[in-house]
Amino acid sequence: MSNNKTIKSALISVFSKEGLEPIVRELNAQGVTIYSTGGTEKFINELGINVVPVEDITSYPSILGGRVKTLHPKVFGGILNRQNHDGDVAELEEYNIPQIDVVIVDLYPFEKTVASGASNQDIIEKIDIGGISLIRAAAKNYADVICVSSVNDYNEFLELITLKKGELNDDDRQRFAAKAFNTSSHYDTSIFNYFNKDQDISALKISETNGKVLRYGENPHQKGFFFGNFDELFTKIHGKELSYNNLLDVDAAVNLMHEFKGEAPTFAILKHNNACGFAQRETLYKAYIDALSGDPVSAFGGVLISNSEIDKTTAEEIHKLFCEVVIAPSFSNDAIEILKGKKNRILLVLKDIELPQTNVRTCLNGVLVQDRNTVSDTIEGVKNATTKSPTNEELEDLIFASKICKHTKSNTIVLVKNKQLSASGTGQTSRVDALNQAIHKARSFNFDLKGAVMASDAFFPFPDCVEIADQAGITAVIQPGGSIKDQLSIDYCNDNNISMVFTGTRHFKH
């Protein structure tokens, strides 16, 4: 495509003036007629550059407190006319409408205003009407007009008009049109989601303007992308680019460790979205050592996360392990230097922000959306189901195990002793298989399960699991309860001196 057109006129109406001056000066140097209004017109005048007020075109002042400035046929006629259409050209001459070749707009900051906690009235006033209309009009008529729709595009536009001396082609205009519709659709999505925050309208609007191409998807033959503001959640201080699978593991790690925020030093090692090592101790060093001992085989190539600063001593131990990612709220300077010893190892500082409150995933030819599972089991919230009550130490282990269980693939059984993950059975088609897997794994790493506790993500329909657990030495159980055959498991526990508590909350994770 070619269809080169030289810019002769420009309409500029922006919220953010940052980076605008060099554009205005370049347009002026190229002899471009500049139209503007309001604060932007004042800004250009103060630069000593000639600018034509929009009111001189429309013969109408800015009215309604600035709500109506550019919404006029003489403005939109100048943008929407087809320059190769004789009828359009004749009407421009008949009604004395100037041709507009460039529209530069930066919208009112609606999202930032919402995020600031402003009043509803202030938020409503930040819904841009004229600007969004100018963007849509200019982008629609990209055959003749180029639209700069965001402060984020100022630099690219300046480079373009400087390099090409204002003579742009169809490819240039169409690329900026796509950017413009990206801007307008994102803006409208934000407004809709604000008005629909109670979800009275069953519609899903998601817009992420921060996108990144990944090396590949889950496997090398699949394309992969990440859409979102990663830097809002993390500061990356070292390492290679994160892969699709890295990101999934990081997501699982962050959600799991969120359960232990503000608690004693806690360390987790994850592989394929599940914890393979987990421990809480009086020091982070001990927590890491005991987390690693839970499954030193699976830890190879894993994702590591702590709930407190990683110090030099802990970093020296971590450095002995090949791991993909290390996450912490902070790292000591010595720890950073040690862990940077592997050039590809990714080091992430987790910022203290709220996690998203909804989960979204594709399903069939649509999308599934649900509330994030924010319910965590507590000592105060459990109910004794058996004659024997768990000891205080067992109760703490039960809650510890339940939190891990909540973030492990179903069906799952989690075994814990002294706030250390002994083993878990993950993603099994039956709960009995999950339990047998956990017991086998614990024994393979020489864990003594006598006095350990067991957590289940869902109820036991039969007493087989508590029977198997009893034979392995487990003395306390936490589960949701709710089966019509709960009494069978309760009776077995009562007959065999096992304590069991019900939470009333299922924690499936698929």
510 within 8 A of 487, measured Cβ to Cβ: no
95 within 8 A of 31, measured Cβ to Cβ: no
Choose, from 8, 140, 236, 240, the residue flagged as catalytic.
Answer: 140
By CB atoms closer than 10 A (0-12, 13-18, 19+), residue 380 is exposed
Spatial distance between the Cα atoms of 417 and 62, rounded to a whole number of angstroms: 72
Choose, from 8, 186, 205, 272, the residue flagged as catalytic.
Answer: 272
Tokens of residue 119, six digits: 């009043």
Spatial distance between the Cα atoms of 285 and 310, rounded to a whole number of angstroms: 8
Spatial distance between the Cα atoms of 346 and 339, rounded to a whole number of angstroms: 9
Largest CA distance in the chain: 98
Q: Which residues of 199-231 are buried (b: 16+ CB within 10 A; e: fewer)?
A: eeeeeeeeeeeeeeebeeeeeeeeebeeeeeee
56 within 8 A of 97, measured Cβ to Cβ: no
Question: What is the residue-wise DSSP string for 191-216?
Answer: HHHHHTTT--S---------EEE-S-
The phi, psi pair for 320, rounded to 5°, reads -75, -15
409 within 8 A of 273, measured Cβ to Cβ: yes
Spatial distance between the Cα atoms of 32 and 54, rounded to a whole number of angstroms: 15
Find the helix or strand (DSSP H, E) in which 238 lies: strand 234-238
Mention every residue, 6+ apart, whose C-beta is less than 8 A from residue 218.
Answer: 224, 244, 245
Q: What is the 3-state secondary structure (H, E, C) of 291-315?
A: HHHHCCCCCCCEEEEECCCECHHHH
Around Cβ 309, how many Cβ atoms within 10 Å? 15
74 has catalytic annotation: no
85 has catalytic annotation: no
Backbone conformation region of residue 12, classed left if phi is above 0, alpha if psi is from -120 to 50, else beta: beta
Q: Say which DSSP state 384 is in.
A: E
Question: What is the residue-wise DSSP string for 399-432?
Answer: HHHHHHHHTSPSS-EEEESSSBEEEEE-S-SSHH
496 within 8 A of 385, measured Cβ to Cβ: no
Catalytic residues, by residue number, are: 140, 272
